Structure 1
Amino acid sequence: MTQMPSTRQCLRLDDVWKAYGRRQVLSGADLCVRAGTLVAVVGENGAGKSTLLRIAVGQVAADRGGVERVGPFGYCPQVAVLNDTLTVRQHLRLFQVAYGLHDLRRAHELMHFFGFEDCENARVASLSGGTRQKLNLTLALMHDPQLLVLDEPYQGFDWDTHRRFWELASILRAAGRSVLVVTHLVHEQEQFDAVRHLHRGRFLQEASST
């Protein structure tokens, strides 16, 4: 049975415009991510995906238009922002303080789920690329956000991370959480509730599996 999407919204962009100098990057982009849905934003290089994402997570202000975020979100940038000199546990502690969490219970659950709990005392410099991405996902999810935003995730996923990510995505959706994937190439399109195509700063069409 196909799950019906919620009417509650966790992210909405209305008529968003953004230019850098004379270069118009976004030209009236609209995006709605509802609670309990998996949404992909796809488009070729230069379509405006990175700018749209940075506006969505609050890193950049739109020139015009509205942005509404409801509840906390987790953000996985294309290049993981990790410190090679720190251990995995030190990263967890830093984000625990940043998120204001009482303990690391959820982080440890995620580490067990992704299968790298034995790396807690390892320095990040010693981790494989796949394990670094698992840590990146754990840091983004350890505060149980309403929305997980992923920027070009497939470039960093090894097969194990890829498989476990989709398993976790199903769990998150069932719990009313949402996932937004921004990429130039969508994999496993049938996994998404909606695929939005960004072209020259505008969304052209939407394909929905619901």
Structure 2
Amino acid sequence: MSLLQRWFGGAPEVDEARWVVVDVETTGLDVTRDRLLAIAAIAVRFTPQPVIDLHDSFEVVLRQDAAAGEPAAIDRDNILLHGIGVGEQRAGVDPAVALADFERYVARSPLLGFHAEFDRAMIGRASRAVLGRVAPNPWLDLEPVAAVVRRDVRARSLDEWMAVFGITCLRRHQAAADTLATAELLLALWPAVQRECGPTPRFADLRKLADSRRWMGPH
């Protein structure tokens, strides 16, 4: 971040050569009450075309401690969905350590996901609670970008977009596998993004595409 940005609180400079795809697992879908269980991330590097860097990835399970004298609430259906059992939750990494490690991993990279607002909210709430801060990295939701650049496709869910491009996922609703599927979707959409934004789109260009989705009407 430049000196002027430190003084006036401007948006931080982002690493345009490395974007990070993020997905989370949680105890449920209520961003105000449910807990963050795990974070997974994988980098997409631009050389200048985007490529997925399988060696540049991150995955952590956050330790879940039951309150003293109070049994932990267990949603068995939720555990069956994401596969993170009670034992793995109890043996996870201290949340402060896990979230600080995630901050170091993402560094200056912009962050993206499919329906990313949920991921951003869950990570932000946990970070604010245990670290007292939220990383300033900008976020992008890939879903409205897909809707704008491929108006001919009526897909909505990640599964539907994966089917359009023939993307396979070893285990859906498992954070690491979902980040890879989302990264593959970004690459599949890239030619259409270039048609909209020119040969070398920047992260801000995709955010403008996502913002424009609000004015398109029903998809």
Q: Same fold (TM over 0.5)?
A: no
Higher strand share: 1
Q: Which interval holds the TM-score relative to the shorter structure? A: under 0.3
Q: Say which one has the larger Rg.
A: 2
Higher helix share: 2
Q: TM-score, normalised by structure 1?
A: 0.27
